[in-house]
Amino acid sequence: MRRKEFERCTPEAVGIPSGAIEAFLNALEYGGFTQMHGLMIMRHGKVCAEGWWSPFAPGLHHCDHSLSKTYTATAVGIAEREGLLRLTDQVIGFFPEKAPEHPCERLARMTVRDLLIMGAGMEEEQADYPEDWLDILLALPIEHEPGTHWRYNSHVTTTLSAIVERVSGVSMVEYLTPRLFDKIGIDAQHVMCNRAGDGTCIGGSGMFTTTEDNLRLMKLYLDGGVWEGERILGEDFVKEATRKQLDTRAAHAHTPWIYDNCVGYGYQIWMCTWPGAYRADGAYGQFSVVIPELDMIVSIHETGYLGDHMAHSEIHMLKGKVGEEAPVHGPQATLNALFELLAPAVEKEPLPQSEASARLKKRMSMLCVPHPAVPKCTDWTQRSLRCVLESRGGEKASFGLLFGMAKNRRDYGGTSRIEIYMKNGRCFLSFEESGREQCLEVNVMGGWQTGRLHYNAIHESVVAASGWWEAENRFCISLYWIESEAENRFAFTFDDGEATVEEWNAAGVFGAQGRRTARYAAMIE
């Protein structure tokens, strides 16, 4: 990999008042609409501000959700430049064995470009990726003429990654490694992409990359497809990718308060309300926003509040801009803060250095996700305990990752035996699940302890755990899956030889959904 580190500088050196970045941070940290994970700000090719909210970290890859789509579009653009495909190629020509025996005329006319602009013409969207997901997709009704009607569909994007894999003979990640990742400084060893049942990289939502990886990707687009003098993407491809190809307003008529989703779509890239700006965009606010007018990129990983989509809208009474009763959409509120507080403050010329610059640098080096609870027991950090829980049958607690949105949920069989060991301010949680004996250290001193869990045959997940005594007989654990926005929370209530284990699933700081309650026999020493 050929990686050249970006030059670092103060915000004032590139015409950005540190006070404006502080105001942006204040909105993000105290606005009640998001939990921040990572932030990088670049102007004129220099990184002028960066920070990660511990336990999230700069080198840690993070679930991109639909920001993955821009990586997939980039793979298509590179394949076009290499002559492996043309945007005018018919989709079913790549998969003759999967097409219906008598494809309808609209399917026969559907092109690669139609998929790039979310113009496949289908209204129905699949929920998962079984082995025959592509056969199912190609058999769906096509209600609109391809290329004329915008309809968001992650499976359509994954069809693009399947095309890249079909014409290249390797996985999309393998294809991108020498052609993109190695050239722009992305460490491919730290890139992950979930796979469909047939092994296809899920290009619509499955990528895991770092905050800086995403900034590097969008710098390639800002620079017209050229990196350090080498052309990677065609000039025309970049121009078309970053301008409106289809109108998205009609599709978002039911959510007018998400107005940055209403201004158009390019090649797997969203247009923005700021004139000329565009962004790579994933669920919960995974953003890499380009403002060409300012020669600026802002890359973000976060957990934005999604209201009713997470089924806990009651916990927030914040209002949006469209009507008094319009709900707040966290990712949109983040974009509002960017376009209203930060971008307007940018000056054409460098600014005098100020005390605010040093204050900002110190603040960004000390960012931290707030602790999930205030302990109620004064001696909570010094308790000694060894507790073995044995299942009584019925429901069992599970420590597996459970995404918030219903269509992404995965259930696990649960664990029959749990052991909690606590002494001298240290706590360890061990259990058997998913065919493995697993063990985590839980920070009981008011911070986070990172560890690893195995819930996937090919991936070891990084987690951060914090624990506290909520009452004399009630011990709680927060388990953050810090490669995503997900949190699992548990409460162990001990009572006369028994333990009740309550389990919730949450997205960042935003209210938990109760998942199950399990009862165990408890042997306490």
The reported pTM is 0.93
Compute, in degrees rounded to 10, the torsion defined by CA atoms 278, 283, 284, 286: -50
- Contact present, 387 and 498 (Cβ < 8 Å): no
Structure confidence at residue 319 (pLDDT): 38
| Structure tokens belonging to residue 381 | 């950090």
Q: Which residues of the chain have pLDDT under 50?
A: 308-324, 403-409
| Structure tokens belonging to residue 419 | 């052991």
The DSSP H or E segment spanning 290 is strand 286-291
CA distance 43 to 289: 12
Residue from 353, 356, 357, 426 nearest 385 by CA? 426
CA distance 452 to 438: 9
CA distance 433 to 414: 6
Type of residue numbered 167: V
Type of residue numbered 202: I
∠ CA(140), CA(142), CA(143), 5° rounding? Answer: 130
Give long-range contacts, CB 8 A cutoff, 24+ apart: 294-297. 294/43, 294/343, 294/346, 295/43, 295/44, 295/45, 295/222, 296/41, 296/42, 296/43, 296/343, 296/346, 297/40, 297/41, 297/42, 297/43, 297/215, 297/218, 297/219, 297/222
Stated length of the chain: 525
DSSP letter for each residue of 153-218: -HHHHHHHHHHHHHHHSS-HHHHHIIIIIHHHT--GGG-EE-B-TTS-B-TTT-EEE-HHHHHHHH
Structure confidence at residue 127 (pLDDT): 85
Structure confidence at residue 327 (pLDDT): 65
- Contact present, 24 and 338 (Cβ < 8 Å): yes
Compute, in degrees rounded to 10, the torsion defined by CA atoms 319, 325, 330, 335: -80
Structure confidence at residue 322 (pLDDT): 46
Largest CA distance in the chain: 72
Q: Is the dihedral of CA 315, 319, 324, 326 positive or negative?
A: negative
Contacts with 189 (C-beta within 8 Å, 6 or more apart), sequence order: none
| Structure tokens belonging to residue 123 | 């209204």
Structure confidence at residue 389 (pLDDT): 93
Structure confidence at residue 507 (pLDDT): 76
